[in-house]
Structure 1
Amino acid sequence: MSFRRGVVRQSKFRHVFAQAWKSEHCIDDVRVSRVTWDGPLCAVNPKFIAVIIEAGGGGTFLVVPINKSGRVDQSCPTVCGHAAPVLDIQWCPHDDNIIASASEDCTVKVWQIPDGGLTVPMTDAILTLEGHSKRVGILAWHPSAYNILLTAGCDNIICVWNVGTGELVYQLTESHPDLIYSVSWNKDGSAVCTVCKDKALRIIDPRRGTVLKVREKVHEGTRPMRAVFLADGKILTTGFSRMSERQFALWDTKDLSEPVVVQEMDTSNGVLLPFYDPDTNMVYLCGKGDCTIRYFEVTDEPPYVHFLSLYSSKEPQRGAGFLCKRGVEVNKCEIARFYKLHERKVEPISMTVPRKSDLFQVDLYPDTAGLEPALLADEWIAGQDAPPLLVSLSGGYTAPPSKQRDTLRGKPKRDSQDLGSPLTSAGNTAAHTSTPTSAAREMDEEAAPQQVTPKETDGNADRPRREDEMLTELLAEMKALRAVVLAQNQRIELLERQLARIEDGDV
């Protein structure tokens, strides 16, 4: 037995370490909201960082490009269309420019953020959803169906909207007797799990409006709970014990009579926000008011939820944003990134696997959810289900970090991904071809002063002419080679898309 106890569990994520970015890469002077709602107050995608902030009259959140750093000027434009404080914000998983916001004014608004961020304050949403009678505190976009958005309010009602038409397609009014704490979709969007103030975990079919399973008293404590669906169908919940100890539990949806595992953590009173990465099957627990972020790996082997490590800092977090895998720097073996909210600062924290090679690590980066939705809203409403369409992250490691983020952000969306057109991206092509042209122009300008004049050749007038011809030929050859490389890159990307569609059964 002593020998077995000494065996070290094999896992490529066992040595993941967290590292905060240097102060010059943080965003300063951000007045993070003081609302008492236990939400993350921050949402991040490969293009933008959004943070709910304090403002006169409330109803405001800040959106800045993800590469923004330094001080945020007080005159920086914000999204300010709500009449009361904003409680939750969530980016659309299928369009990096679309964000939804939920507010105490009982409405949900959907906004379209222009590329590059705001230049003037945004007060007019592209859509306002009105269906709740009390404040709305929970948003959850469908993981694979386009334009399907779930909202939950303090009226104990869940609404499911078709954002494309603005239509309320489903409303669950009898499922919860009390305040809903959290809602999470399962992998293919066929069901949601919820936890409520009555301490019960429910698995619900939102289209039929039926509660499929219930587990009473998931956690005995009276403080708020959270629940998140895992990729294999299990559910992880966080909450408090009867003795007010923070704990998490893992549940098998096939049998909710007993948890697979329950573990107490500490006696802090901050609500534990779970962030789940389906690609690595890792869970990050971030407590509001804590100075730590704990991370675990979920497996099929006891004890099922394996503690890996924790990140600790001197300052507590007011909230946190979790970046989807499309935005991480694969050339640095970064598998996750948080944006920690301080009282007046946003601090990026990278989770990294320590490896020496700068080549793409296939085992660390399985295909991840891409921008293209698997279903249209009407298809899901009609009863179809499908997991998210996956894309490969290979190739992102070849670019420098800043340019790589731009490349990952710039992938075309569903409406422009017609395989019949060459990469569907005249804009992308123009962006690439402008670089060689400007480079050639710079070389011309640099070369001009160095051209040899007849005086310097001691009467040999043919020498500068020959050098001019050689320079012209070199520049022409460089342009031709760049064009070939660009064309090959486009061809490779197109073939990867076609391969992904074939593997997903779309062709």
Structure 2
Amino acid sequence: MFRKVVRQSRFRHVFGQPVKNDQCYEDIRVSRVTWDSTFCAVNPKFLAVIVEASGGGAFLVLPLSKTGRIDKAYPTVCGHTGPVLDIDWCPHNDEVIASGSEDCTVMVWQIPEQGLTSPLTEPVVVLEGHTKRVGIITWHPTARNVLLSAGCDNVVLIWNVGTAEELCRLDSLHPDLIYNISWNRNGSLFCSACKDKSVRIIDPRRGTLVAEREKAHEGARPMRAIFLADGKVFTTGFSRMSERQLALWDPENFGEPMALQELDSSNGALLPFYDPDTSVVYVCGKGDSSIRYFEITDESPYVHFLNTFTSKEPQRGMGSMPKRGLEVSKCEIARFYKLHERKCEPIVMTVPRKSDLFQDDLYPDTAGPEAALEAEEWVSGRDASPILISLREAYVPSKQRDLKVNRRNVLSDSRPASAPGSTRPGASTSAASTNVAAPGGGGLSGAGEARKLEEVMQELRALRALVKEQGERIGRLEEQLGRMENGDA
């Protein structure tokens, strides 16, 4: 008799559940552009969705609490002259979002703290450098104000948003359309999936190809490649027979995949979402009605299927909430925002636990909103891992600073920098005519050290009050426990 051994994993029982109807976002005209982006970006404050817009490109930005039916007249971010193809929230400022469009520009927007009350048409900065539509936007994971864009001109540009300066231009490494780009954990490298069926690992500051795998997936349909926390690369794509596949690669030995699995024969591109804290990859197919999830481990077969969440409606796109925006008290380990034809439906992934205590194994310290480097430090060759925060206490984000782009007048440096809304940069992105007013703010509002110190002191006072309150509560509970043990209660 052989007994089947079930692999032990704390994520074997991950339970996916859509929220109730009144917690969905209804009547959203999701974009119909034929582009394989997620069409959705989310952070702990806002949900952004690319929508249909007449005469240009637009996306909705909704406070997370604004559920229910969204009025057709609800204001949008609508400064692009062509359809918006990709959007991405800044990981270091929850009120800053970047967008790429068919109009060949990248725009960076400052969203008011309480959300939009009127259409937002003036970006903080316009970045012009692409000659064809811009379909990929992704912020650097650890350096403040560093943004990557890739266009249908097969060019990758890296910008310092704080100065509107072009930092790196990579125009000879991709011979064909770029499908996606993913930074590694500390932002020293990125990997890309290209229409020529190659996966490349690139050092952007040196402009060099570090490693390349040709025909990572042999099918002609779009691929995706993402960096994992340990430096390995996870890809999705199609076989020669149009079977959907996923694979795990070690860039040190790109010859053969560490793992290769065939999933099914659907034709929608597979969009992978990776959680570096739990090493779980969630795979959503465009046009599918399911989310499959896999755990990546150091043991063969390395990619372990966990489960599938299935619903009735196919998905047009998908957004993923950063870890610091999840409800820790409900053992929520992931939350997705699924786009239907005319609505957005949050899907909550939880690991059922009986205990009400904080689950350390589910919530290791995670990347926080503080940048580890300034843009100038990254350009000079420095690397740094994300600054981690604990989710043990209810996380309260610190007050965000406004994003400002400060420009020095070429004719007279003594003149004050112009306000962010008074110039529309982008006619020229000359590095010589740009400057950052306050390095401490990394291109954000130039408040002095005194205000920064006051913010720190306020947080410290709040923490002291919280510790005192918790101490008193523990004292009361111990007293109550003592009475119960003595039979008094």
Q: 2:2 is matched with which residue?
A: 2
Which protein, 1 or 2, shows the higher relative CO under an 8 Å CA cutoff with sep ≥ 6?
2
Shift of 1:2: 3.1
Query: Could you say what secondary structure the match of 2:211 adopts?
Result: strand
Deviations 1:51-106 (A, max 9, x none): 00001123100000012210100111110000000000000000000000000000
| TM alignment of 1:305-324, pairs within 5 A | 305-324=303-322
Q: What is the match of residue 331 of structure 1?
A: 329
Q: Could you tell me which of 160, 170, 176 is aligned with 1:162? A: 160
1:275 to 267, 273, 293: 273
Cα distance in 2 for residues equivalent to 1:73 and 1:420: 39
- The match for 2:396 among 408, 411, 424 is 408
CA deviation vs aligned residue, 1:390-423 (integer Å, no higher than 9, x gap):
0000112xxxxxxxxxx53456678599898365
2:18 is the counterpart of 1:20: yes
**How far is 1:296 from its partner?**
0.6
Alignment correspondent of 1:443:
none
**Aligned pair partner of 2:40 in 15, 37, 42:** 42
Partner of 2:126: 128
Deviations 1:260-299 (A, max 9, x none): 0110000000000000000001000010000000011000
1-structure distance, mates of 2:70, 2:294: 34
Partner of 2:484: none
Q: Which one of the candidate residues 421, 442, 453 is aligned to 1:421?
A: 453
Residues 21-57 of structure 1, C-alpha deviations (whole Å, 9 max, x = no match): 0001001000000000000000000000000000112
From 153, 164, 174, the counterpart of 1:176: 174
Alignment of 1:426-505 (within 5 A): 485=465, 488=468
Q: Distance in 1 between matches of 2:366 and 2:396?
A: 12
Structure 1 residues 329-408: aligned runs within 5 Å: 329-396=327-394, 408=396
The residue matched to 1:331 in structure 2 has which SS? helix
Structure 2 match to 1:195: 193
Q: Is the 8 A contact 1:412 1:425 kept in 2?
A: no
**Cα drift, residue 173 of structure 1:** 0.6
Aligned match of 2:104 in 83, 103, 106? 106
In structure 1, C-alpha distance between the alignment counterparts of 2:110 and 2:451, rounded to whole Å: 26
1:61 aligned residue: 59
State the match for 2:293 in structure 1.
295
2:29 is aligned with what amino acid? Answer: R
Return the offset for 1:358: 1.9
Q: What is the aligned partner in structure 1 of residue 229 from structure 2?
A: 231
Rg bigger for which structure?
1
CA contact (8 A) 2:59 2:76 kept: yes
The residue matched to 2:77 in structure 1 has which SS? coil
SS of the counterpart of 2:263? strand
CA contact (8 A) 1:423 1:490 kept: no
Cα deviation for residue 236 of structure 1 reads: 0.3
Q: Is the 8 A contact 2:234 2:249 kept in 1?
A: yes
Give the 3-state SS of the residue equivalent to 1:2 in structure 2. coil
- How far apart, CA to CA, are the structure 1 residues paired with 2:466 and 2:18? 36
- In structure 2, relative to structure 1, the CA distance for the partners of 1:297 and 1:121 (3 Å cut) is same
Name the CA distance, whole Å, in 2 between partners of 1:326 and 1:349: 16
Verify the 8 A CA contact 2:94 2:400 in the aligned structure 1.
no
Return the alpha-carbon distance in structure 2 between the equivalents of residues 231 and 152 of structure 1. 23
Q: Distance in 1 between matches of 2:328 and 2:213?
A: 40
In structure 1, how many angstroms separate the alpha carbons of the residues matched to 2:146 and 2:231? 21
- Distance in 2, matches of 1:326 and 1:253, equals 30
Structure 1 residue 142, shift from structure 2 partner? 0.6
Which of 241, 246, 249 is the matching residue for 1:248?
A: 246
Separation in 1, partners of 2:80, 2:164:
18
Structure 1 position 346, deviation (Å) = 0.5
For residues 291 and 82 of structure 1, what CA distance do their matches in structure 2 show?
31
- The structure-2 alpha-carbon separation of the partners of 1:307 and 1:484, relative to structure 1 and needing over 3 Å to count, comes to closer
Q: Which amino acid aligns with 2:453?
A: S
Structure 1 138/490 Cα, relative in aligned 2: closer, same or farther at 3 Å? farther
Residue 330 of structure 1: how far off its partner (Å): 0.2
Q: Do the aligned residues in 2 keep the contact of 1:181 with 1:224 (CA within 8 Å)? A: yes
* Structure 1 residues 490 and 63: CA distance shift in structure 2, 3 A: farther
Identity %: 63
* 1:296 counterpart SS class: strand
Structure 2 CA distance for partners of 1:490 and 1:195, relative to 1, 3 Å: farther
CA deviation after TM superposition for structure 1 residue 382, in Å: 0.1
- Assess if the C-alpha contact under 8 Å between 2:93 and 2:400 holds in 1: no
Q: For 1:97, give the aligned amino acid.
A: E
Q: What is the root-mean-square deviation of aligned Cα atoms in Å?
A: 2.2
SS at match of 1:267: coil
Q: Distance in 2 between matches of 1:427 and 1:112?
A: 24
State the shift of 1:313 in Å: 0.6
- Asked if structure 2 preserves the Cα contact closer than 8 Å seen for 1:46 and 1:408, the reply is no
Consecutive unaligned residues in structure 2, runs of 5 or more:
402-439, 442-446, 472-489
Contact 1:374 1:388 in 2 (8 A): yes
Separation of aligned partners in 2, 1:117 and 1:379 = 32
Give the gaps of 5 or more residues in structure 1: 397-406, 433-482, 492-507
Can you list the C-alpha shifts for 1:449-474, whole angstroms capped at 9, x where unaligned? xxxxxxxxxxxxxxxxxxxxxxxxxx
Three-state SS of the structure 2 residue aligned to 1:7 is coil
Q: Across the two proteins, how many residue pairs are aligned to each other?
A: 427
State how far apart, in whole Å, the 2-side matches of 1:35 and 1:185 are: 25
- The one-letter amino acid of 1:2's match is F
The match for 1:469 is none
What's the secondary structure of 1:379's corresponding residue?
helix
